[in-house]
């Protein structure tokens, strides 16, 4: 079983051209940091997801593999980073109750309590590594 981080890159909701839904929301400042923004997210470029999938088919054993980059990050870091990569203003911040009304309780939990994932097992057992080791470089060089 492969558990992917949040996809970004061409054809995803976090892409530059054509702009994906999340990219557009970030540009319009309609994707805020909710509450503390301490929830940790894991990301994966769509091309890295493809190479990991091939590696799993060729070398994987039964089990769960987290297919993510090397740097899980809290929303307070990655969301402003995405806005910057898109040439947008920094995201707004809203209290948890506003996030709950606008996006629902699951979104609030993700933004405030998410834990991210480690790709160590996939790296070791699949002999795989992402081209974009972190979302920081991927957001700058991999959104198109």
Q: How much is the average pLDDT of 15-32?
A: 94
pLDDT band at residue 18 under the 50/70/90 scheme: confident
Boundaries of every domain in the chain:
2-141
d(CA 120, CA 142): 22
Q: Is the pLDDT of residue 69 over 90?
A: yes
What's the pLDDT score for residue 126?
98
What's the pLDDT score for residue 57?
97
Choosing among 3.40.50.80, 2.60.40.10, 3.30.390.10, 3.40.50.720, the CATH entry for 2-141 is: 3.40.50.720
Q: Is the pLDDT of residue 144 over 90?
A: no
Q: What percent of the chain has pLDDT over 90?
A: 97
**pLDDT 10s digits, 87-113:** 999 999 999 999 999 999 999 999 999
What's the pLDDT score for residue 54?
98
Helices 105-113 & 96-103, crossing angle to 10 degrees?
140
**pLDDT 10s digits, 106-139:** 999 999 999 999 999 999 999 999 999 999 999 9
What are the C-alpha distances in Å from 64 to residues 78, 120, 125?
A: 25, 12, 11
């Amino acid at each position: 079983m492969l558990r992917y981080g949040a996809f970004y890159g061409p054809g995803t909701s976090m892409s530059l051209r054509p702009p994906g839904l999340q990219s557009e929301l970030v540009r319009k400042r309609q994707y805020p940091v909710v509450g503390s923004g301490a929830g940790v997210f894991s990301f994966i470029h769509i091309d890295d997801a493809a190479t990991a999938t091939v590696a799993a088919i060729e070398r994987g054993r039964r089990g769960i593999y987290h297919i993510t980059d090397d740097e899980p990050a809290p929303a307070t870091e990655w969301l402003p980073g995405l806005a910057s990569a898109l040439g947008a203003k920094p995201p707004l911040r809203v209290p948890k109750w506003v996030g709950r009304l606008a996006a629902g309780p699951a979104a609030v939990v993700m933004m405030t309590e998410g834990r991210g994932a480690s790709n160590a097992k996939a790296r070791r057992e699949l002999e795989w590594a992402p081209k974009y080791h972190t979302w920081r470089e991927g957001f700058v060089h991999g959104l198109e």
